[in-house]
Amino acid sequence: MFGLLKKKLSKVVESISDKLKKKDAAAEKIEEVIEQAEDKKPEEILEQIEPVKEEIPEIIEEIKSGLAESKKKPEETKSIFKKIKEKIKKTLVEKTLTEKDLLPILDALEVDLIEADVAVEVVVKIKQSLIESLAGKEIKKGKDKEIVASALRESLLKILDVKELDLEELIRQKKPLVLLFLGFNGSGKTTSLAKFGKMLKDKGYTCVFAACDTFRAASIEQLEEHAGKIGVKIIKHKYGADPAAVLFDAIAHAKANNVDVVLADTAGRAHTNRNLMEQMQKIVRVNKPDLKILVIDSLTGNDAITQARIFNEAGVDASIFTKVDVNEKGGAILSVTYELSKPILFLGLGQEYNDLEKFDKEKFVSSLLGENLKSSS
């Protein structure tokens, strides 16, 4: 799961800590040169530190001005070198990353994350957040990975920081709670709805399914089969019937029978299906569902953000990502949550009823950065 995204994030941690190691090596080299500086000509010193000057330009400047000063006041050469040595010692213990150090690394990260399906605007946010937390920060020796991984962790959590929903609290507050499952063709709406129904039933709530996909061949039978297996009532009309009317009847049934939750399946649609998009708006207008849950196939890639935008015209309240069990990229989860600013309720992890996992952003981010967070402690 998310192998590619994990690899790319690991690379960021490695690249930044490599940069710190290079700075370390440069400081050590300079220290060595300065140790014997008093016996050397200034040109010789500058020549020796030339190869590492890119890594710690601030120290190089210090040395240059020290050398110029000692040329003017040769009697103070000793104390000038002493000051430089102290400064280098401090750099060796507490390194500072500058924005200039970070930018090339973060530019490479941009390409990497886009490859893992993270949208450009989300990558920009992650970059900004890393610069804010790392540039100018003193990094103690041996703590590089820990600090970089935790900055990355914070930046990812910020992307996922949206107001959460307490589903059971909602069920307690409103009866029946009406959930409408929306999404692109084949995204996993019907399967997720069935898993959801099974989960609610296992928790002791009563449900009814509404077969509002009256469009795709065999869709009603597919939902009926799930309803039969789980032991949930289904309200259905004929193919071609108005789905808004199906949901209306399901809600009426739930009210009459004191049912806790109505789960409405809908037809898969794309923004090019004008009629189906208008039909979805009508289902919403007529029945005012409590939650419109967007079901997204996590394998969709960068198109996921476009789908989210289009379905959000009906006002999405939460999302479910399916096929996470077979997804190596994972970036769509970050992109869509950022775009919608709405919580992810569950992840679909397979084709069985129990393959539904409550989304936990801390756990998700920790799993992405797992090895890095571990190796740092």
Ligand X SMILES: Nc1nc2c(ncn2[C@@H]2O[C@H](COP(=O)(O)OP(=O)(O)OP(=O)(O)O)[C@@H](O)[C@H]2O)c(=O)[nH]1
Which residue lies nearer to ligand X by CB, 185 or 375? Answer: 185
Which residue lies nearer to ligand X by CB, 327 or 376? Answer: 327
Q: How far is the CB of 269 from ligand X (least distance, A)?
A: 8
Q: Is the dihedral of CA 165, 168, 172, 178 positive or negative?
A: positive
- In the bound state, the residue with its beta carbon closest to ligand X is 268
Nearest to 344 by CA among 363, 326, 329: 363
Q: How far is the CB of 195 from ligand X (least distance, A)?
A: 8
Q: How far is the CB of 220 from ligand X (least distance, A)?
A: 11
Q: How far is the CB of 192 from ligand X (least distance, A)?
A: 6
Which residue lies nearer to ligand X by CB, 331 or 348? Answer: 348
Which residue lies nearer to ligand X by CB, 150 or 273? Answer: 273
Q: How far is the CB of 130 from Mg ion (least distance, A)?
A: 40
d(CA 54, CA 56) in angstroms, rounded, equals 6
The residues binding ligand X (CB under 6 A) are 183, 185-191, 213, 216, 219, 268, 322-323, 325-326, 348-351, 355
- Strands 291-297, 233-235: pairing is unpaired
Which residue lies nearer to ligand X by CB, 130 or 356? Answer: 356
266 makes contact with Mg ion (CB under 5 A):
no
Residue 326 binds which of Mg ion, ligand X, none (CB < 5-8 A, kind-dependent): ligand X
Which residue lies nearer to Mg ion by CB, 15 or 190? Answer: 190
Nearest to 96 by CA among 150, 152, 55: 55
- In the bound state, the residue with its beta carbon closest to Mg ion is 190
Contact range with Mg ion by CB under 5 A, out of 27-35, 181-189, 285-293, 302-310: 181-189
Which residue lies nearer to ligand X by CB, 262 or 347? Answer: 347
Residue 350 binds which of Mg ion, ligand X, none (CB < 5-8 A, kind-dependent): ligand X
Residue 22 binds which of ligand X, Mg ion, none (CB < 5-8 A, kind-dependent): none
Contact range with Mg ion by CB under 5 A, out of 23-31, 44-52, 157-165, 188-196: 188-196
Instruction: By CB under 5 A, name the one of 190, 279, 307, 335 that touches Mg ion.
Output: 190
Which residues contribute to the site for Mg ion (CB under 5 A)? 189-190
